[in-house]
């Protein structure tokens, strides 16, 4: 942080997710991890709680406990034991997050089923992680999560993954499906516009440009992906980003201004 010029960091649990079929064990893991995160809270570190999703009762209890301890919100996986964000089974937890006006950071998780006979199925970082992020957000849009729970502030990682391409496609196909009675009518663009995005990963040379074609500059924030990206790699990428004159008009906004915005 000192070397990169980062004054304040929001800590969150990355992949893998903690629920592997045992509600009680995942609840214990969440509680212990969250207590450790809470102990790190300072003027340099904020934190988001991890939850034992898809165990909703335990998740609601942990949301309330951790928000009372100073958590800014929660970190959620794109899928929890195969249950994707947007699934109606998670609505009770979404309602509590909405009530708390919580920040929610999502992070990709491996899909339960994937091909193991090609490189995209065996090395998750190549395809599966951005694919699962995209899959989860499209499911959220289809179930109108951002409209139904308007006080949750969502952060989607990695420049939106495949969403800059998928938004237009999903809008068109979902309209056709709605006309056939195969899904509810949804305003995909309106749902999408409520999301925030981080630039963790590889924003240059093309990903950030693609994201800005569909997302407003005031909905983009800095992200590092540490420790999945080693410190040396992050320093190199941030130095290039900070020295690239292409971003002079939005750099301060992305690196600090947008993250400081508070709800009215």
CB 89 within 8 A of CB 53: no
Give dist(CA 130, CA 251) in Å, integer: 24
Give dist(CA 210, CA 213) in Å, integer: 5
Largest CA-CA distance found in the chain, in angstroms, rounded: 56
The pLDDT value recorded for residue 115 is: 86
Return the SS3 of 197: strand
Which tokens go with 90?
């998670």
The pLDDT value recorded for residue 261 is: 61
Residue 208 has pLDDT above 50, yes or no: yes
CB 147 within 8 A of CB 173: no
Average pLDDT over residues 84-93: 98
Quick one: pLDDT band at residue 140, thresholds 50, 70, 90?
Answer: very high
Residue 255 has pLDDT above 70, yes or no: yes
Q: Do strands 83-84 and 45-50 pair parallel, antiparallel, or not at all (unpaired)? A: unpaired
Q: How confident is the model over 154-200, as pLDDT tens digits?
A: 999 999 999 999 999 999 999 999 999 988 999 999 999 999 999 99
Q: For the chain, what percentages of helix, strand and coil (3-state, to nearest 5) are there?
A: 50, 10, 40
What structural domains and CATH numbers belong to the chain? 9-259 (3.20.20.140)
Q: Quick one: which of 11, 8, 2, 7 has its CA closest to 226?
A: 11
Mean pLDDT of the chain: 94
Strand (E) positions, the chain? 9-11, 45-50, 73-77, 79-80, 83-84, 103-107, 153-156, 196-198, 220-221
Return the SS3 of 76: strand
Q: How confident is the model over 73-87, as pLDDT tens digits?
A: 999 999 999 999 999
CB 247 within 8 A of CB 241: yes
Contacts of 140-145 with C-beta under 8 Å, sequence gap 24+, read 140/85, 140/86, 140/191, 141/86, 141/170, 141/186, 141/188, 141/191, 141/192, 142/86, 142/174, 142/183, 142/184, 142/186, 143/86, 143/87, 143/88, 144/184, 144/186, 144/191, 145/85, 145/86, 145/94, 145/191
Which tokens go with 254?
């992305």
Quick one: pLDDT band at residue 263, thresholds 50, 70, 90?
Answer: low
The pLDDT value recorded for residue 264 is: 40
The pLDDT value recorded for residue 260 is: 85
Which tokens go with 110?
């491996």
Q: How confident is the model over 124-136, as pLDDT tens digits?
A: 888 999 999 999 9
β-bridge partners, 107: 77
Which tokens go with 23?
């509600």
């Amino acid at each position: 942080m000192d070397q990169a010029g980062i004054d304040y960091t929001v800590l969150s649990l990355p992949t893998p997710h903690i629920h592997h079929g045992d509600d009680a064990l995942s609840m214990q893991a969440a509680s212990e991890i969250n207590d450790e995160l809470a102990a790190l809270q300072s003027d340099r570190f904020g934190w988001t709680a991890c939850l034992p999703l898809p165990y909703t009762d335990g998740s609601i209890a942990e949301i309330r406990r951790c928000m009372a301890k100073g958590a800014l919100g929660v970190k959620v996986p794109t899928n929890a034991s195969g249950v994707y964000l947007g699934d109606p089974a998670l609505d009770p937890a979404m309602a509590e997050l909405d009530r708390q006006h919580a920040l929610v950071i999502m992070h990709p998780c491996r899909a339960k089923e994937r091909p193991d006979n090609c490189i995209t199925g065996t090395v998750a970082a190549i395809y599966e992680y951005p694919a699962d992020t995209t899959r989860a957000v499209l499911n959220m849009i289809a179930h109108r999560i951002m409209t139904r729970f308007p006080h949750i502030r969502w952060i989607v990682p990695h420049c939106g993954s495949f969403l800059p391409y998928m938004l237009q496609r999903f809008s068109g196909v979902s309209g056709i499906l709605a006309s056939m009675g195969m899904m509810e009518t949804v305003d995909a663009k309106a749902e999408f516009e409520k999301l925030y995005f981080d630039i963790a990963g590889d924003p240059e040379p093309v990903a950030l440009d693609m994201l800005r074609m569909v997302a407003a500059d005031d909905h983009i924030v800095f992200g590092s992906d540490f420790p999945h990206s080693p410190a040396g790699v992050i320093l190199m990428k941030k130095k290039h980003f900070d020295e690239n004159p292409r971003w002079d008009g939005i750099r301060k906004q992305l690196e600090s201004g947008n993250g400081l915005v508070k709800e009215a």
